[in-house]
């Protein structure tokens, strides 16, 4: 039967479900314990009252101690924290892959592939703008399949073409080979599309309740990404139907057809139209036809996503959604810490930093 399924899938054999035992109980219990070590929300106001040195010391005493100690000989100050946060994120997510087996490992791996795409995009963008290797490495998070060593080698390549040539064995090469020096944003969009296509193929036709929730989790993410892109497009008065290729297919509550209808609208009309979507209740208080900044809105959307993933994880604590909730929580903690550190470094007021945080 398995052989038949594999034959039917043909080229997609790489995405076929792994055989063998899935250790959901072990992984979820361990992830629960890891989740209890995430910073509680009361910590952030305290961090806002601290100076950069104090924050560095505070972060160095937390889960990030090993990373800060390891990198202290190479970097200092804000850069040290930035690198330590990225390293910790990579180590944590690699650990998730190491402790999981079978299907749970497969699903985590598929989700974390967005880091591979993120890293490829970062390196290509860096090379495109002639950024230094150091600057590129600052934004690298080696949480996917590519190791930090491989990514540092890629960052050290002189041109984007050399980077692409080094990735000739990867599954992304079919998209990357179309890079002609100008089409970077198009390549980036295609990589994102491929990520979600692969993820949906990995999820397959969800039958069990937890798999349905996982699918909902991914599709909510797509909705919120599409919403953010739409807001930005509208703000810059881009209403061309060609912009539809920036939209990701597979959203939960915002289908492509609805987005297509919204595309020609002006910003004011778009905001009015949003009132008919299910997300309006959550974003209505920070959404108006004459809004200037999207900071509040984006923080609200991220909060909404975290909230939905927490409720999913409570529904099925022994499933993949609980692990996804931890991944989101960890990403959010690292983002918040980075925002506080960077905000303090450039002299932003506490109020401004607080508005950016997703707590």
Partner 1 sequence: MADVATATVLFDAAGMKAIGAGLAVGLTGLASAIAEKEIGTAAIGAMAENEALFGKGLILTVIPETIVIFGLVVALLIS
Q: Which positions touch partner 1 (CB under 8 A)? A: 23, 25-30, 32-34, 36-37, 99
CB of 37 to partner 1, least distance (A): 8
Contact 338, 46 (CB under 8 A): no
Structure tokens at 256: 């492509």
| Cβ distance to partner 1 smaller for residue 64 or 172 | 64
Coil/strand/helix, residue 86: helix
Tokens 């590519």, residue? 146
Q: Which is nearer to partner 1, 27 or 220 (CB)?
A: 27
* CB closer to partner 1, 32 vs 303: 32
Q: In angstroms, what is the C-alpha Rg of the chain?
A: 21
Q: Distances from the Cα of 7 to the Cαs of 3, 110, 198, in angstroms?
A: 6, 21, 18
Spatial CB neighbours of 106, under 8 Å, sequence gap ≥ 6:
17, 18, 202
- Token duo for residue 5: 């399924």
* Least distance in angstroms from the C-beta of 25 to partner 1: 4
**Minimum distance from residue 211 beta carbon to partner 1 (Å):** 19
Smaller CB separation from partner 1, 50 or 99: 99
Give the length of the chain. Answer: 359
Would you give the DSSP letter of residue 11?
A: G
User: Which residue's CB is nearer to partner 1, number 32 or number 255?
Assistant: 32
> Shortest gap between Cβ of 262 and partner 1 (angstroms)?
45
Q: Give the residue with the Cβ less far from partner 1, 7 or 33.
A: 33
Nearer Cβ to partner 1 (4/25)? 25
| In the complex, least distance from residue 309 CB atom to partner 1, rounded to whole angstroms | 20
C-alpha triplet 141, 147, 150: angle, nearest 5°: 105
* CA 192 – CA 135 distance, rounded (Å): 23
Spatial separation of the C-alpha atoms in residues 232 and 359, rounded to whole Å: 23
Shortest distance, position 33 Cβ to partner 1, whole Å: 3
Per the CB < 8 A criterion, the answer to whether 141 and 118 are in contact is: yes
Rounded Cα distance between 24 and 319, Å, is 7
- Beta carbon of residue 320, minimum distance to partner 1 (angstroms, whole number): 15
Phi, psi of 338 (to 5 degrees): -65, -40
């Amino acid at each position: 039967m398995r052989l038949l399924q594999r034959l039917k899938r043909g080229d997609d054999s790489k995405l076929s479900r792994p055989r063998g035992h899935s250790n959901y109980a072990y992984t979820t219990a361990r992830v629960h314990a890891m989740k209890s070590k995430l910073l509680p929300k009361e910590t952030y106001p305290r961090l806002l009252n601290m100076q950069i040195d104090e924050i560095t010391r505070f972060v160095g005493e937390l889960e990030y101690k090993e990373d800060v100690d390891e990198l202290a000989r190479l970097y200092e100050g804000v850069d040290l924290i930035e690198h330590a946060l990225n390293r910790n994120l990579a180590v944590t997510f690699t650990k998730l892959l190491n402790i999981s087996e079978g299907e749970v490992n497969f699903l985590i791996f598929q989700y974390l592939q967005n880091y591979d795409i993120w890293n490829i995009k970062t390196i290509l963008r860096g090379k495109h703008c002639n950024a230094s290797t150091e600057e590129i490495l600052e934004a690298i998070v080696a949480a996917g399949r590519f190791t930090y060593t491989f990514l540092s080698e890629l960052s050290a390549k002189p041109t984007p073409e050399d980077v692409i040539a080094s990735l000739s064995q990867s599954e992304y090469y079919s998209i990357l080979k179309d890079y002609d020096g100008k089409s970077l944003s198009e390549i980036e969009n295609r990589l994102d599309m491929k990520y979600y296509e692969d993820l949906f193929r990995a999820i397959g036709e969800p039958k069990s309740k937890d798999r349905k929730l996982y699918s909902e989790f991914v599709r909510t993410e797509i909705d919120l990404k599409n919403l953010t892109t739409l807001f930005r497009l509208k703000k810059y008065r881009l209403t061309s139907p060609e912009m539809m290729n920036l939209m990701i297919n597979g959203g939960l509550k915002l289908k492509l057809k609805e987005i297509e209808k919204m595309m020609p609208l002006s910003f004011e009309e778009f905001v009015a139209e949003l009132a008919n979507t299910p997300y309006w209740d959550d974003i209505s208080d920070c959404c108006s036809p004459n809004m200037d900044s999207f900071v509040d809105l984006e923080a609200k959307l991220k909060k909404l996503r975290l909230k939905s993933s927490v409720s999913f994880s409570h529904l099925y604590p022994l499933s993949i959604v609980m692990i996804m909730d931890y991944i989101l929580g960890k990403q959010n903690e690292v983002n918040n810490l980075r925002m506080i550190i960077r905000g303090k470094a450039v002299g932003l007021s506490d109020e401004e930093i607080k508005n950016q945080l997703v707590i």
